[in-house]
Each structure stands twice: as C-alpha cells, then as structure tokens.
C-alpha cells in the first residue's frame, strides 16, 4: 500500500477509518499512466481487505484536474491488441473493485474530469464537485469508446438517452448541468470540495462501523430477502447494536467499537 507521495503518481493517506487516495500527477493533468494504473489496482485491492475502513476519498492533486484519464503519451507505446486489451481489463477490474468496496467511495472533483477520469468518478458512490468543474467522455472524438467501464456506469447514473447523447457527442458538461442530471451529487464553491468531503466523513464515521460497511452490500443485495435478512440479523446481534440500545436508554451518544 502506498503511504505518502509515491514515484508511481499515487498517494494514500489514512486518517482513522477514512482513506484518501490522490493522483499525484498534476504536471500531466493527473492522468493515469501504465505504472500508476498497476499501482492503483494494488492499492484498491489492499483497501478491500481493510475491515476498519468506512470511507475512501478519491481525488486529484491541485485544483485544475481531478483526472484526465489515460496518459496519452505513455499509451502511445500500446501497439498490439493484447497490450490494449490488458490495460482496459486492468482498469475495468480496478474500478469494479473500487465500486465493490464495503467502504463508501467518494470522488472529490476539483477542475476537470475527462475521459477515464470521469469513468473513475462514476465508479465512486458519491461525487462532490466544485462549481468550476467540467466533465466529459470525449472518446468518440478520439476514435474509441470509454474503455474502463464508463459506458454502463453512465447509463446507470443518468439514464440511457442522456448517456448516449453525452457519449456520442463527447461534449463538456458544466457543473450545474451535471448536478441537474445526477452526474454529480453536490456542487460547492471553488476550494470547498475537501471541506464538504470532510463534513460527509464526519457524518459517516459517526455511524456504527459495521453497519456503515454493510449498507453497500445491502443495496447490492436488492430484493434478495435472504441476503438482507442475514445482514440484518448479524448486525442486530452485534455489540454495537446493543451499545446503541443502551445509549438510547441512557440518553447519551453511543460509543461504537466496530464489533
């Protein structure tokens, strides 16, 4: 796992049950080269094994770029079908793993989220952006399609017709339009993205840790009655639920332990 700035272009900072993953390639628009892609896969895999994590923040260094997708200069070396497919599959698996994390994944978007950068944001559960952000999937103008799983996530997020319009035109979506169509969940003034994320983290970490980590599996279970019943029963008998009952009776804040 990366801790602090890394030669791979990623940093991971842990603050209690919250981890912040930052793309540290501002000089290259926070684009993702092959080395960074491989390291991101390893970092996300390590986060999935962390039982104490309740929230993961994904962001880009600086104020101009969240992420501009793949590093075009680096990807010029991809000249075989196998190499191109392998990179696409690596990033699809990585974003799938990010989406499957029990912890809430939050994209903190300052500036531009372009191409694969927007695909990365779409793999997060919540997207908070600044008022000056610009979002787009311009791959059609480059002669390709989104290769990191962004097509199906875009459809799921904003609906088929809107998704196809954005995909085929590749146009830029400004912040307020993105909010109105559900492409982002909140917009804040410039410089206020991370404070808003910190406020969200405070609310999330106030919940019982196991319950917080069970919400995404419960949502994924959908109408699967047995799966929901299993989760509910497990949490009902947990120490944290018993503590919540005691705290309610004693009119005091609960002291959760994650057990």
Model pLDDT, residue 6: 52
Measured CA distances, 159 to 82, 105, 156, 164, 165 (Å): 32, 21, 6, 9, 10
Model pLDDT, residue 2: 46
Long-range pairs, 72-75, Cβ under 8 A, ≥24: 72/31, 73/28, 74/31, 74/33, 74/34, 75/33, 75/34
- Helix (H) / strand (E) containing 19: strand 18-23
pLDDT confidence of 257, banded at 50, 70, 90? confident
Q: Which residues, 6+ apart, have CB-to-CB distance to 217 below 8 Å?
A: 102, 227, 231
Over residues 196-235, the pLDDT tens digits come to 999 999 999 999 999 999 999 999 998 899 999 999 999 9
pLDDT confidence of 150, banded at 50, 70, 90? very high
- Helix (H) / strand (E) containing 65: strand 65-67
Model pLDDT, residue 258: 82
Distance of alpha carbon 92 from alpha carbon 3, whole angstroms: 24
pLDDT confidence of 7, banded at 50, 70, 90? low
Q: Which residues, 6+ apart, have CB-to-CB distance to 232 below 8 Å?
A: none
Over residues 52-109, the pLDDT tens digits come to 999 999 999 999 999 999 999 999 999 999 999 999 999 999 999 999 999 999 999 9
List domains and CATH numbers for the chain: 4-205 (3.90.226.10), 209-250 (no CATH)
pLDDT at 8 over 90: no
Q: Report helix, strand or coil for 212.
A: helix
Q: Is 111 left (phi over 0), alpha (psi -120 to 50) or beta?
A: left
Distance of alpha carbon 220 from alpha carbon 228, whole angstroms: 10
HSE-CB at 9 with a 13 A cutoff on CA atoms is 22
């Amino acid at each position: 796992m990366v801790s602090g700035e890394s030669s791979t272009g990623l940093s991971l900072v842990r603050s209690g049950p919250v981890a912040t993953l930052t793309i540290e390639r501002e000089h290259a628009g926070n684009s993702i080269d092959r080395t960074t892609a491989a390291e991101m896969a390893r970092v996300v895999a390590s986060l999935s094994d962390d039982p104490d994590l309740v929230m993961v923040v994904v962001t880009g260094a600086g104020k101009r770029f969240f992420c501009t997708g793949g590093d075009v200069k680096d990807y010029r070396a991809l000249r075989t079908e196998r190499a191109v497919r392998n990179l696409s599959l690596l990033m699809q698996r990585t974003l799938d793993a990010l989406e499957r994390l029990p912890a809430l994944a939050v994209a903190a978007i300052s500036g531009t989220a372009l191409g694969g950068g927007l695909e990365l944001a779409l793999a997060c559960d919540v997207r908070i952006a600044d008022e000056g952000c610009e979002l787009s999937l311009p791959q059609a103008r480059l002669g390709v399609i989104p290769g990191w799983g962004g097509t199906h996530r875009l459809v799921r997020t904003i609906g088929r017709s809107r998704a196809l319009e954005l995909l085929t035109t590749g146009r830029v979506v400004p912040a307020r339009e993105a909010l109105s169509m559900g492409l982002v969940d909140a917009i804040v003034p410039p410089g206020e993205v991370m404070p808003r994320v910190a406020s969200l983290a405070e609310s999330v970490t106030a919940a019982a840790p196991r319950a917080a980590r069970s919400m995404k599996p419960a949502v994924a279970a959908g109408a699967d009655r047995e799966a929901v019943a299993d989760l509910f029963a497990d949490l009902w008998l947990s120490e944290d639920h018993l503590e919540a009952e005691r705290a309610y009776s004693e009119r005091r804040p609960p002291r959760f332990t994650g057990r």
